[in-house]
A and B are shown apart, each in its own frame.
Chain A
Amino acid sequence: MSAVIFVLDVDEFRPLVMAARDMPSVEVSGPSQGYFRISSDQELEFHRKTLGFKPALWYGALTGGLLGKITEFSRDTLRIEAT
């Protein structure tokens, strides 16, 4: 199963979608029913400072839901592996 995150279609989470669109081998679809779907066959990786997220938003960045396994969620790095 791919690594997938769902991102709510609202302004504050938009940097996740913009960043994912620039990533090779990452697919972005939607929005559908209020969510973007960001997926990768291997791994998704995001960095807080690149996104410009303050900590409160960063640590809630997965509130839209996910598929896969969080292998790192540190102050600056989020990594989700396909399972």
Chain B
Amino acid sequence: MNTINNIPNPPLAGVHHTARPTWKLRETIEFYRDKLGLPLVHAISARGWPEGHPDFLHFFFDSGQGSTIAFFYYIGTERPDYLEPRPSHFYSATHTAWRVDSAQALDVWRQRLEALGVPMKPQIRHEVIESLYLMDPNGYMLEISYQMRPFTEVDARDALLTLEAGMALEDQMKASGTMGAFESIDSVWRAKGSVIEKEFLNIEGVTP
């Protein structure tokens, strides 16, 4: 019988493309190709298929290391209300973050985008990355990041402990039908802290 562990699971080789719809053909091409300087590397124009699908243009810009960002322009359609940009964290959570290899490169990008008048949010230094945030003509959020150190096994194990605490709280929330303890991040921190404390008790004999 197939189980999750014995079904072949070949590694992925990176991003080929992410894709979004656009209703601004010229502005999108001028933004990505000219302002960001990403080469236009491929486009397909096609009769819509299967039946009912609008005719479309589908085009790709090179974003480095074999990755591309792609757009669909659906001919004869208008952007539906539910795809209008919204000033919401939920909306901007969907974004693409590109990598640069140095803090200097990030500075140069910021200077370029400022010089070209591209709308940006304040630069943010996160835990392991520093990021520029910019908005494309469609209202899509983009990010350019410099990662200050590589992820390690310590990060991976920490991520698992954080998310195991989160999933347990989500399970409790679903089972009880109420928010319960999962109303703030404090519950995650406490649940995770209890797990790590047990490890310290076992290894170091810490007296609580």
Q: How far, in whole Å, are A29 and B207 apart by their CA atoms in the complex?
A: 12
CB of A34 closer than 8 Å to a CB of B: yes
Q: Given the complex, which residues of A lie within 8 Å of B195, measured CB to CB? A: 65
B177 → A minimal CB distance (Å): 26
Q: Given the complex, which residues of B lie within 8 Å of A12, measured CB to CB? A: 127-128, 148-149
**Does A56 contact B124, Cβ atoms closer than 8 Å?**
yes
**Does A6 contact B196, Cβ atoms closer than 8 Å?**
yes
**Does B193 contact A67, Cβ atoms closer than 8 Å?**
yes
A61 → B minimal CB distance (Å): 10
Interface size on A, residues (CB 8 A): 30
Residues of B within 8 A of A (CB): 124-128, 148-149, 152-155, 157-158, 161-162, 165, 185-186, 189-197, 199-200, 203-204, 206, 208
**Does B127 contact A56, Cβ atoms closer than 8 Å?**
yes
Q: Given the complex, which residues of B lie within 8 Å of A8, measured CB to CB? A: 154-155, 158
Q: Given the complex, which residues of A lie within 8 Å of B192, measured CB to CB? A: 6, 64-65
CB of A60 closer than 8 Å to a CB of B: yes
**Does B204 contact A70, Cβ atoms closer than 8 Å?**
no
> Which of B165, B185, B193 is A4 in contact with, Cβ under 8 Å?
B193
CB of A77 closer than 8 Å to a CB of B: no
Least CB separation from A27: chain B residue: B206
**Does B206 contact A37, Cβ atoms closer than 8 Å?**
yes
Q: How far, in whole Å, are A60 and B124 apart by their CA atoms in the complex?
A: 13
**Does A10 contact B189, Cβ atoms closer than 8 Å?**
no
**Does A56 contact B125, Cβ atoms closer than 8 Å?**
yes
Interface residues of A in 1-41 (CB under 8 A from B): 1-2, 4-6, 8-13, 29-30, 32-35, 37, 39
